[in-house]
Amino acid sequence: MAIGRVLQQEIQEAVEALRAGELVAFPTETVYGLGANANNPDAVRKIFRVKGRPSTHPVIVHIDHPRYLQRWVREMTPEAKKLADAFWPGPLTLVAKRAPAVNDVITGGQDTVAIRVPNHPVAQQLLNAFGGGIAAPSANKYGHVSPTRAEHVRDEFGDDVKWVLDGGDCKVGLESTIISCLADGPRVLRPGSISFSQLKAVVPTIQMGPNPSAPRVPGSTSRHYSPATPVNVVPSRRLETVMNEFTANHEKVAVLAQRPPGTANPFMTWINAGIRPDIYARNLYANLRTLDKASAKIILVEEVPEGEKWDAVRDRLRRSASAENIVTYDQDIAAWVADFGEEGGPPG
Ligand code: TXA
Ligand code: MG
């Protein structure tokens, strides 16, 4: 597989590949994207095939500058314009009414389109040289953990994706904030690194979460961002107890925590991801990939703190946990409250 080192020559080859209807994986500041010429429906269909993604899930169109917006969007609300001015280029995706020429394969047949102007220099270089829109979901198999390094893309797709431009580690590490700007007002569909307060400062009417009466967009509800090993989110004070339940039976446990372990245990793999939300987010997917390789029975994730700085991380962790494990987690809480009361601590 050719790995672009992002000399101008390699950008040029990637552009030629895109023009020929091939896929090119490229870095953005959030995660790596798997790109195709957004004006070529057959090329975009390849993305769905390679990812194993259902064809009804819409994809984001990336452009290098808002000057190309009118090719894709027929109407930007005043709120959309303000958000674009404030956060583009950057880790923000806007959903707006689509322009007539935008293909159904991009929008999943809806009347809206998602647009992003990334600020990663390699993404900018590529988009600029290509001169058009690049449709790109995150460069991972459907439902799996998003890639934040070129090697993650290679791990996902091997020889199925010939072009991978290597722009190093993604700085943000979580997917962009998605905001729909339609008749029902601005709404955060997916939290990202831009906090709700930062958004509210620009657009005071913004609301968290999709409109409950609007139809759900495919891809916005399903289990996502998941390693192969089951993930369970556990309150900090229960972490060692839950871990010991597994390791007592000599079952391996992988732990993503924000502190060092309280006890040594030969059956655990423990990552201390620290207490800074930006650094935790940047490393989250690489950490989950590392823990997924520990051949553990389960990945236990220490529940992250309350507060909006952790919104995006909390959202991804919730989705990476399987449905059964969320139930287990609720049962843990119920058992805990029954044993120790709301504020109780572990014995001894
Ligand atoms: O940071 C990111 O956003 C990365 C980089 C590569 O740009 N891309 C990314 O794409 O995360 P993807 O396909 O993995 O997630 C895009 C999400 C999906 O959940 C999809 O349902 C939603 O955006 N989406 C796309 N078009 C939409 C639309 N017209 N209306 C509502 N949601 C939409
Ligand atoms: Mg994705």
Query: pLDDT, tens digit, for every residue of 142-180?
Result: 999 999 999 999 999 999 999 999 999 999 999 999 999
pLDDT of residue 220: 66
Mean pLDDT, residues 116-135 taken together? 97
* 339 pLDDT above the threshold of 90: no
Answer yes or no: are the C-beta atoms of 281 and 304 closer than 8 Å. Answer: no
Q: Which ligand is nearest to the CA of 194?
A: 1
For the segment 246-272, the average pLDDT, to the nearest whole number, is 96
- 157 touches 33 (CB < 8 A): no
Tens digit of pLDDT for each residue in 73-87?
999 999 999 999 999
Exposure b/e, 193-216, CB count within 10 A at least 16 = b: bbbbeebeebbeebeeebeeeeee
For the cut 90, the answer to whether the pLDDT of residue 47 exceeds it is yes
Question: Measuring CA to CA, which residue among 158, 136, 139, 161 is closest to residue 148?
Answer: 139
Residue 346 has pLDDT above 80, yes or no: no
Residue predicted with more confidence, 184 or 342:
184
Radius of gyration of the chain from Cα atoms? 21
Distance (angstroms) between ligand 1 centre and the Cα of 14 equals 22
Q: What is the pTM of this model?
A: 0.91
CA of 20 to the centre of ligand 2 (A): 24
Dihedral sign for Cα atoms in the order 294, 298, 301, 302: negative
Longest dimension (CA), the chain: 67
> Could you report the per-residue pLDDT of 281-323, keeping only the tens digit for each?
999 999 999 999 999 999 999 999 999 999 999 999 999 986 4
For residue 59, how far is its CA from the centre of ligand 2 (angstroms)? 9
From the CA of 32, give the closest atom in ligand 1. 6
User: 312 in ligand 1 pocket by Cβ < 6 Å?
Assistant: no
Q: Which residues contact 316 (CB under 8 A, 6 or more apart)?
A: 174, 224, 225, 284
pLDDT tens digits, one per residue of 186-231: 999 999 999 999 999 999 999 999 998 887 777 665 567 889 999 9
On average, the pLDDT of the chain sits at 91
Ligand 1 pocket test target in 53, 59, 122, 285 with most atoms within 8 Å of CB: 59
Residue 135 binned pLDDT confidence (cut-offs 50, 70, 90)? very high
Helix 277-292 vs helix 150-157: crossing angle, to nearest 10? 30
Give the position, in ligand 1's atom list, of the atom nearest the Cα of 34: 6
Element of type H or E holding 233: strand 231-234
pLDDT digits (tens, 9 = 90+) for 84-93: 999 999 999 9
Q: What is the pLDDT of residue 152?
A: 98
Residue 139 alpha carbon, nearest atom of ligand 1: 6
Residues composing the chain: 348
60-71, pLDDT tens digit by residue?
A: 999 999 999 999
pLDDT tops 80 at residue 46:
yes
CA distances from 102 to 25, 42, 50 (A): 22, 14, 22
